[in-house]
Structure formats: C-alpha cells, structure tokens
Amino acid sequence: VLHGLWPQYARGGWPASCSPQSQLNREEIDKGAALFPTRSLLKHEWAKHGTCSGLEPLAYLEKTDAALGVVTIPQQLQPFNTPPSLQAREIEALFRESNPRMGNHGLAVICKGKVLSEVRVCLTKDLAFAG
C-alpha cells in the first residue's frame, strides 16, 4: 500500500505543507483513488508533501504512480504469501534481492513493536534508486 511520495533534503528532513495550498479536483481525486488506500490519505499527502514537490496535482500523481512501478514488492510479502514472522533485516534483504539496483542505502524498514509499519524507499527525482 502506498503511503506517499514526498521530496526530501539531501541531509535529511523534508519540506511540508508548502504554499499555495490547492484542493484536488474530481479528476485528480479519481486518479489518486487508484494509488492511495483512502481518499483522506490522498488529500493529506497532497497537502503535506505534494504541494512541496514543485508539480501540479496531476503530474504529482502521475509521478507517484511511476514511483510505484519502480519498486518490486518481494513475492514473499505479496498478499497470501506472507510468512508468519520475519525480522526487519530479513524484510530488508528481500527488498534488496527483489530490487538489485537498490544499492546499499535508501531503504528503511520501520516496525512498531513486532509489527511492520512501513518500508521507506528513497528514489532520485528521476525515480532511480538513491544511494
């Protein structure tokens, strides 16, 4: 599930909630509904991060869609294939194995307690793996 796509500074951190804040129109919401699990997350990600991307809403959503196509989710982590338990380092290894161009940096496996919360992948502006 996509959480979001946002710009990040080279030394960490990222801009948020940039001006001008614009609302998404119906076409943009429909496009985003195919990318994000909920419309509220779509609207939140656009307001907080998309507005800082330097892109118009539809271009931001198209770039988000393209970014989804860059990262291969490991077969073992696809729905109905998930093993009962994996260590964070094992999840990282699966992502690197499924994405050989990923390199040694630009990937973070985030857990909350013993539950996987998210996998963050850093891409360049051209959607190549960073690091």
CA separation for the pair 12, 20 (Å, rounded): 23
Ordered DSSP codes for 71-109: SPPPGGGSTTT--S---HHHHHHHHHHH-GGG-SSSEEE
Model confidence over 48-97: pLDDT tens digits? 889 988 899 999 999 999 999 999 999 988 878 766 789 999 999 999 99
User: Which of the following is catalytic: 27, 49, 92, 105?
Assistant: 49
Would residue 105 show up in a list of annotated catalytic residues for this protein? no
Q: Give pTM, 2 decimals.
A: 0.83
Residue 27 amino acid letter: E
User: Which of the following is catalytic: 27, 45, 56, 92?
Assistant: 45
Would residue 3 show up in a list of annotated catalytic residues for this protein? yes
Would residue 49 show up in a list of annotated catalytic residues for this protein? yes
Where are the domains positioned within the chain? Answer: 1-69, 75-121
Collapsing DSSP to helix, strand or coil, 111 comes out as strand
